[in-house]
Chain A
Amino acid sequence: MANMIATRDAYGEALKELGGICEDIVVLDADLSGSTKTSVFKKEYPHRFFNVGIAEQNLIGTAAGLATAGKIPFASTFAVFAAGRAFEIIRNSVAYPKLNVKIAATHAGLTVGEDGATHQALEDISLMRSLPNMVVLCPADAVETKKCIYKAAEYKGPVYIRLGRSKVPVIFDESYEFEIGKGVQLKEGSDITIIAAGVMVAKALEAAERLEKEGISARVINMPTIKPIDKDIIIKAAKETRGIVTAEEHSIIGGLGSAVAEVLSENYPAHMVRIGTMDTFGESGDAEELMEKYGLSVGNIVDKSKKLLSK
């Protein structure tokens, strides 16, 4: 059994490390520092941590102002409130002026679990991806999260980083190299390609193993940068395999699946199927049970892959 760590925990650790390296790093939260793990930074660097209270619009607006003065603000809250409630502040005060604000949104997707639909962001990637100047990252595990946070801090401009609440398997070791805008092939395969992001990467790897046992060679691509998307790796996969399956803990509308479909349709039309939530809200429940119920499962990836190949 792999080591299990939530990406939000890795975020807190990365912030703490970065805080020691770079004096300009400041962190803002909207009364959720215990949940988003920005409290880890706060404990170490209290004078560089600002709680704005339950006020997500002000969270982003204040971060924008700090960025104009040379700070590198990481603003955190749940993905629903960051991308949703504060959307227009992100658009006009961060993305349009291309300010150096990092929005690290935790509790994305169904794995929020028991809190239910109001707190399960399934459209945040779609919203953030549509903004000019915005980089959108969705790391798969704790190792990748740390590397994402470091790269986001180095990058000059707005970055949205999507993180999760639940513990997920650690799939990378420290030698893993992350680069903004690059997909990573995790497994070779010649029949079909599974492109996944976030918590679905571990499931894609498991699905590929199962497919292998059934004689189907599945390539697995991890796509931690949803924007700018790595076109080359997608087109190459379309050329070399017979179909593309995308898997994400997000609506099939506007997220990774849409981004891949856009690349394929304009460059190398291929058979594809998108796995994600099917234009629906979530509900309360155990995280893994919800993932099963909404089709974000190893079984569904296997089924959809086989169906696609039978076309």
Chain B
Amino acid sequence: MDKYSDLRKIASKLRTDIIEMLREAKSGHPGGSLSACEVLTALYFKEMRVDPNNPEWPDRDRFVLSKGHGAPVLYAALAEKGFFPKEELMKLRKTGAMLQGHPDMKGTPGVDMTTGSLGQGLAAANGMALAGKLDKKDYRVYALIGDGEAQEGIIWEAAMLAAHYKLDNLTVFMDHNRLQIDGLNKEVMNIEPIDEKFRAFGWHVINIDGHSFEDIFNALEEAKNTKGKPTMIIANTVKGKGVSFMENQAGWHGKAPSEEEAKKAIGEIGGVING
């Protein structure tokens, strides 16, 4: 028996939604959305304490998509969870639509922080975690950063702060798919050894396969049991995961699939084409 079969189905649904949204929008970021599907599925459909009927519930767990260009996977997860109707997904990026190109907390139920300019989400997540400590609340704060995003200076300012203030209520995933717009991280600006860097900054660091639910839940458990320091889960992932012609291709960072490509992609994902 596959104990994660239900979650796997949800992850496939999210992938299908991502492809369809981007096909409709004719622009957006498929690669880094597809690589984060298991992490978002694990968080929103098992781990996080959230209520779609009360998106601003003060005691909810928070999620900050610091790599805001991964908006499609967040929107797909929020819609699947019931924060807003699924029809909204097909209006992504269109004039007057609720779903902006990058997450907008004021316009979209369930979005905990406005992001899009890289690096800023981690600082905001720190603020949420500080507030949680101050108010003696037991909510947890989660964030997802990109690997290329770690080239931003503010990431390291924030990394210092999280360790300094012992934010053990903060768990951050790095979607380590090794690619950014201009190519491989190591060719654009090497970030390695990224695990050692965060460790040296005072974080508890866990390396996992970011597409393995087993790995993700084990790491989340370890993070909750880690006291006195924040946890960085380096999720080793495949950019464009699930779509053969998108996998490991920097060219699919910020390009929408055509009708034909979308059909092929959804066929591979095993999803059902909605329209």
Flag if B104 contacts A65 (CB, 8 Å): no
Flag if A61 contacts B120 (CB, 8 Å): yes
Instruction: Give the residue name and chain of the B residue nearest to A58 (CB).
Output: B157
Instruction: Give the residue name and chain of the A residue nearest to B114 (CB).
Output: A97
- Residues of chain A within 8 A (CB-CB) of B165 are 50
Stretch at the interface among A67-75, A114-122, A184-192, A220-228: A67-75
A182 at interface, CB cutoff 8 A: no
A148 at interface, CB cutoff 8 A: no
A258 at interface, CB cutoff 8 A: no
Give the CA-CA distance A97 to B135 in the complex, in Å: 23
Flag if A67 contacts B127 (CB, 8 Å): yes
Instruction: Give the residue name and chain of the B residue nearest to A55 (CB).
Output: B157
- Count CB-based A-B contacts (< 8 Å): 109
Please indicate which of the listed interface residues A60, A65, A67, A93 has the most CB atoms of chain B within 10 Å of its own CB.
A65
B65 at interface, CB cutoff 8 A: no
Chain B contact residues: helix, strand, loop or mixed: helix
Flag if B128 contacts A65 (CB, 8 Å): yes
- Residues of chain A within 8 A (CB-CB) of B130 are 50, 62, 65-66
B153 at interface, CB cutoff 8 A: yes
Given contacts A70-B58, A92-B114, contact A65 B157 (CB under 8 A): no
B37-77, CB under 8 A of A: which get 1 and which 0?
Answer: 00000000000000000000010001010000000000000
- Residues of chain A within 8 A (CB-CB) of B119 are 57, 61
Flag if B134 contacts A71 (CB, 8 Å): yes
Instruction: Give the residue name and chain of the B residue nearest to A73 (CB).
Output: B127
Flag if A68 contacts B120 (CB, 8 Å): no
B121 to chain A, nearest CB (A): 8
Give the CA-CA distance A50 to B167 in the complex, in Å: 13
B117 at interface, CB cutoff 8 A: yes
Instruction: Give the residue name and chain of the B residue nearest to A91 (CB).
Output: B117
- Residues of chain B within 8 A (CB-CB) of A26 are 134
Flag if B154 contacts A57 (CB, 8 Å): yes
A242 at interface, CB cutoff 8 A: no
Flag if B124 contacts A69 (CB, 8 Å): no
Given contacts A47-B134, A70-B58, A93-B120, contact A61 B105 (CB under 8 A): no
Instruction: Give the residue name and chain of the A residue nearest to B152 (CB).
Output: A57
A196 at interface, CB cutoff 8 A: no
Flag if B114 contacts A96 (CB, 8 Å): yes
B103 to chain A, nearest CB (A): 10
Chain A contact residues: helix, strand, loop or mixed: helix
B144-172, CB under 8 A of A: which get 1 and which 0?
Answer: 00000000011001101100110000000
B49 to chain A, nearest CB (A): 15
Give the CA-CA distance A75 to B104 in the complex, in Å: 23
Flag if A53 contacts B161 (CB, 8 Å): yes
B131 at interface, CB cutoff 8 A: yes
B262 at interface, CB cutoff 8 A: no
Flag if A58 contacts B124 (CB, 8 Å): no
B270 to chain A, nearest CB (A): 37
B112 at interface, CB cutoff 8 A: yes
B19 at interface, CB cutoff 8 A: no
Given contacts A50-B165, A53-B160, A61-B158, contact A69 B135 (CB under 8 A): yes
Give the CA-CA distance A290 to B121 in the complex, in Å: 41
A234 at interface, CB cutoff 8 A: no
A167 at interface, CB cutoff 8 A: no
Flag if A61 contacts B128 (CB, 8 Å): no
Flag if B58 contacts A66 (CB, 8 Å): no
| 15 further A-B pairs in the complex, CB-CB below 8 A; given A58-B157, A66-B130, A67-B127 | A26-B134, A47-B134, A52-B157, A57-B123, A58-B126, A58-B154, A61-B120, A62-B158, A64-B113, A64-B127, A66-B128, A88-B117, A89-B120, A92-B117, A98-B106
The 5 nearest A-B residue pairs measured at CB: A65-B127, A61-B123, A69-B131, A58-B157, A65-B124
**13 chain-A/chain-B pairs, Cβ below 8 angstroms:** A52-B161, A61-B123, A61-B127, A61-B154, A61-B158, A65-B129, A66-B127, A68-B62, A71-B134, A88-B117, A96-B104, A96-B114, A97-B113
| A interface list, Cβ under 8 A from B | 26, 47-48, 50, 52-53, 55, 57-58, 60-71, 73, 88-89, 92-93, 96-98
